[in-house]
A and B are shown apart, each in its own frame.
Chain A
Amino acid sequence: MKKRGKGVALIYYPTGMAGGGDTTQAFVKIKPDGGADLFLGSCEIGQGIKTVACQILSDELGIPYDQIVLHNSSTDDTGICTGTFASRVTYFAGNAVRAAAADARQQLFEYAALELGVTPSELSLQDNKIVVANEPNKSMTIAEIAGKVNWTMGKLILGKGNFWKEPGRIIDAENGQIDVITTLAYGATLAEVEVDTETGQVEVLKLTNVFDTGKTINPLLAEGQIDGGVVMGIGSTLMENANPYYPTDNLKPKTLGDYIIPTTMDVPPMQSFIVEYPSANGPYGAKGIGEMTANTASPAIANAIYDAIGVWINDIPVTPEKILKALESQNMA
């Protein structure tokens, strides 16, 4: 018999390393034609930090996105980024790039102020131009001022910035309390499943997901994170076990034919929604959602299985064998 059920799960996930004491550094060089080189030590693992960093720099400096070159490929060329882990890079690198951009912008304003005969505080960025407050006709493009500074003054504009998180402050040593939180993001999933009580097969019919990004820097990339993370959660729940005879390591999988992970054919209909509850100190309020998207599907599916057949899943992955054994002991009880 096929039985259907629904289950929900609610989670939080911290942005950044528990305990802090880590940094990301960025620096930007203004090219003589008004483009920019952005040097950032953050590794790209597919999540999109290159894109996000260039979007932020473009907005902060008024330099078109396609005139920014990102350099992140070597330790000789970049400053420190502690790493692309702990859902930390958009938050840390985003802040570092903003700080580097602010430094470069201040230098651009100082040179532009000399050219325009005003003080730097009278200047602002508008439509990729440096303009004088209350005198809209008095302006210079970034390309004009960059050319002047580089070619006729021979100077280099180099902006630098970083984001540093202080090590966690001990609140109550006796109770092991320590302020480890940079910020928290939230997520929830509703799973709808169908369980075949004859074969023990579980089919995920639909997943509805909500994740809190604080502020989405790039919806395309955030949606990609959600799709990938949720599907990884399905794999953990229904397929993956690297030690099938745990606690021994007998008969470990040796090929991707033994260690099955989800493919696009295993992706159920999904509806995902992003909400934005800003963090206090992230860039534009952003939080990290890299890891948390993999955490909601497992409990939601397990809870949906209970709703369908009245059997609790206390250990995953949920194999047909496990379902059938549980149903058997349920019948005997």
Chain B
Amino acid sequence: MTLVGERVPKYDGLGHVTGTTMYVDDHYIPGTLICKGLRSPVSRGKIKRLDTSLAEKLPGVAAVITAKDVPFNAYAGDWPVFPEEDICFKGQLLAAVAAVDEDTALEAISLIKIEIEEETPIFDVREAMKPGAPKIRPDGNLLKFGERDYYFTNQGDVEAGFKEADFVLEEEYFYPVAEHTPMEPQVSLAVPHPNGSLTVYTTSQCLYFHIGQLCAVLKLPFSKLNYVGATVGGGFGGKNDLHADPVTALLALKTGKPVKWRWTREEELNCSTVRGAWLMRIKDGVKNNGRIVAREMESTLDGGAYLSFNPYATTKHAYYAVGPYYIPNVRVITRCVFTNKVPSSSMRGFGVTPCSYAVEVHMEKIARKLGMDPFEFRMINALRKGEPTHTGSIPDSVAAIEVMQKLAESAGIKLPDKLMSMKSDERRL
């Protein structure tokens, strides 16, 4: 009996549909303290005073922590657990409290005295890119790739390609900020043990990606942290950043008691990472016979305030900006610009979703301009086996033409024989 290829019911499906699967919030340990965070009301500013003494004195409060309590105050590249001084986005975490219950924790948050010298935030990537714009990061507002402040991938000679073209079509596209919207928000439960080790129950999509980051923040070896989770109530890329774990871990170590933090829906929507907005400009040189001979694409990611997965999204966008087509001459430039907004990070489609959208609308515009059937236009430009992508790779599997044929057939669209007999394996004529 072989099971590969069979409709085997989900291993843990029965638990999900009967409500018995244990998610992080379902773990209950007697004596668990509840965590709440103080978040910045401003988008940019400097902390002048942060006084937690009143909050600490409130009966029922076990601990209040700020930047001074963090052994190594950065994760996901440069994102501080709490900022020392510079506030970079509205909703940024400034302090956290562990108390006997939620009401006490909220009251303690309201007792923290904070003075912020507000600064003018930069929201617009075009403003942030201007020479002389105020620096919202020490390295400047553009992400550096070695010496450059952009990433690129080129193939062929794009100028020669445009010269060869019968016409050029240039357009701009925009893909908005999106939230992952998992049913389960960020939840973390940190349980300290007598030997100084911790068990952290979390919502992570990548326990082993996170253990290194969390151990670095805590300055603990892996042997002192057991990261538990791996059944997640919806991820979509929103659980690839640490979010709540450093805070519960620090509070558990400080108080010696289990600490749980469950983000509210508002925190999930406003303070967790997002898919950053993308501005994309595509310029294609096209022959009247329908072949695209040159593409220049310039894209800008609004990265928000910190690195996180932005470098990866910026490079991945550059690698997949062409779509499943063979265009002999390509120049792709991508940038990541930092602004005073919640950090952008991973989300399903990771830099590729926005360019898939822009490229496919652009392709349709060209097909309409040519007066060519949209299936035919895509199929004559589709990648063939043996042809390189613009990154110089020769893909092991090529099937864009066959997917279009199947789509036409399935949707009851009759394509001419010359299209239905086309094959990815056959060389381009």
- Contact pattern, B 306-347, Cβ under 8 Å of A = 1, otherwise 0: 000000100110111001100000000000000101100010
Residue among B89, B179, B350, B352 making CB contact with A259, cutoff 8 Å? B179
Count of chain A residues near B, Cβ 8 A: 119
CB of A147 closer than 8 Å to a CB of B: no
- Looking across the interface, which residue of chain B has its beta carbon closest to that of A12? B324
CB of A205 closer than 8 Å to a CB of B: no
- Give Cα A180 to B315, complex, Å: 10
CB of A151 closer than 8 Å to a CB of B: no
CB of B232 within 8 A of CB of A43, answer yes
- Nearest-Cβ distance from residue B308 to partner chain A, whole angstroms: 13
- Looking across the interface, which residue of chain B has its beta carbon closest to that of A182? B396
Which of A107-115, A136-144, A195-203, A214-222 participates in binding chain B?
A214-222
CB of B361 within 8 A of CB of A295, answer no
CB of B9 closer than 8 Å to a CB of A: yes
CB of A317 within 8 A of CB of B4, answer no
CB of A73 within 8 A of CB of B312, answer no
CB of A13 closer than 8 Å to a CB of B: yes
CB of A134 closer than 8 Å to a CB of B: no
CB of A55 within 8 A of CB of B3, answer yes
Q: Tell me which residues across on chain B come within 8 A of A248, comparing CB atoms.
A: 123
CB of A187 closer than 8 Å to a CB of B: yes
- Nearest-Cβ distance from residue B17 to partner chain A, whole angstroms: 12
CB of B77 closer than 8 Å to a CB of A: no
CB of A162 closer than 8 Å to a CB of B: no
CB of B407 within 8 A of CB of A75, answer no
CB of A273 closer than 8 Å to a CB of B: yes
Q: Tell me which residues across on chain B come within 8 A of A247, comparing CB atoms.
A: 123-125, 277, 302, 339
Q: Tell me which residues across on chain A come within 8 A of B320, comparing CB atoms.
A: 12-14, 18
CB of A232 within 8 A of CB of B174, answer no
CB of A10 within 8 A of CB of B3, answer no
- Give Cα A291 to B316, complex, Å: 13
CB of A215 within 8 A of CB of B9, answer no
- Nearest-Cβ distance from residue A54 to partner chain B, whole angstroms: 6
- Give Cα A229 to B173, complex, Å: 22
Q: Tell me which residues across on chain A come within 8 A of B266, comparing CB atoms.
A: 254-255
Q: Tell me which residues across on chain A come within 8 A of B399, comparing CB atoms.
A: 186, 212, 275, 277
Which of B29-37, B105-113, B200-208 participates in binding chain A?
B200-208
CB of A253 closer than 8 Å to a CB of B: yes
State the 6 A-B residue pairs at the shortest beta-carbon distance, nearest first.
A83-B206, A299-B360, A177-B392, A315-B174, A171-B392, A277-B399
Mark B residues whose CB is within 8 Å of A. 1-12, 43, 89-90, 123-125, 151-155, 171-179, 181, 204-209, 211, 222, 225-237, 239-240, 265-266, 269-270, 274, 277, 302, 312, 315-316, 318-320, 323-324, 339, 341-342, 346, 348-350, 352-353, 356-357, 359-361, 363-365, 368, 374-375, 378, 382-383, 389-393, 395-400, 402-404, 406-407, 410-411, 413
Given contacts A10-B363, A175-B155, 7 further A-B contacts (CB under 8 A): A10-B382, A14-B352, A56-B3, A85-B205, A184-B398, A275-B399, A315-B175
